[in-house]
Amino acid sequence: MQLANKKAYKLDLTKLHSTCEANYARFVRLFPDYEVSNKKEFKVGLARVLLEVVERCRYTTIFKVIQQGSDSKWVGGLKVEVRLYHDANMAEVGMFQSQRRVEGRYKYPNQRMYQQDEKCQQNGFLADWLEHCLNTGVSLQPLPVLARKSGG
């Protein structure tokens, strides 16, 4: 039996765009040299995180994000594909744990049991995860030595 007064879910496009714009800024802070480097590795707690360039195009860069060895059972092994759209300064989840092409909204219940706002939730998770990496991540590569300007 369908409830007559149940409102259909509406995608909050402003919120999704805001999340994707903030994720772009976070991702670029984590991997600032992505234009000239193909990999970035760091640790978050006991987990090892790898950000790897999969494809570079004029306006888009696609990354594979892998987290392994987590001390947290709720996250386990994380595999995400992230697309950075440079002309729009946005980052979006393209694949999450091997699930591709998530729609903007779903009827609920559905065959895959996605939430009505699955796309927003995946990008929101990416936002929280990137922020956690920025706050607690430790680089596995030595920092470059910067030349000092001589004063005088």
Query: For position 1, what pLDDT does the model report?
Result: 45
Residue 48 lies in a domain: yes
User: Which stretches in the chain have pLDDT values below 70?
Assistant: 1-9, 70-76, 98-100, 102-108, 110, 112-116, 142-152
pLDDT at 135: 94
Phi (first) and psi of residue 52, to 5 degrees:
-135, 135
Q: How far is it, in rounded angstroms, from Cα 45 to Cα 57?
A: 33
Number of domains in the chain: 1
**115 inside domain:** yes
Domain assignment of residue 103, yes or no: no
Domain that holds residue 56: 36-97+108-134
Beta-carbon contacts of 26 under 8 Å, excluding residues fewer than 6 positions away, are 91, 127, 130, 131, 134
User: Is residue 151 domain-resident?
Assistant: no
Distance CA 78, CA 76 (A): 6
13-49 confidence digits (pLDDT tens): 899 899 999 999 999 999 999 999 999 999 998 889 9
Q: Would you say residue 4 lies in a domain?
A: no
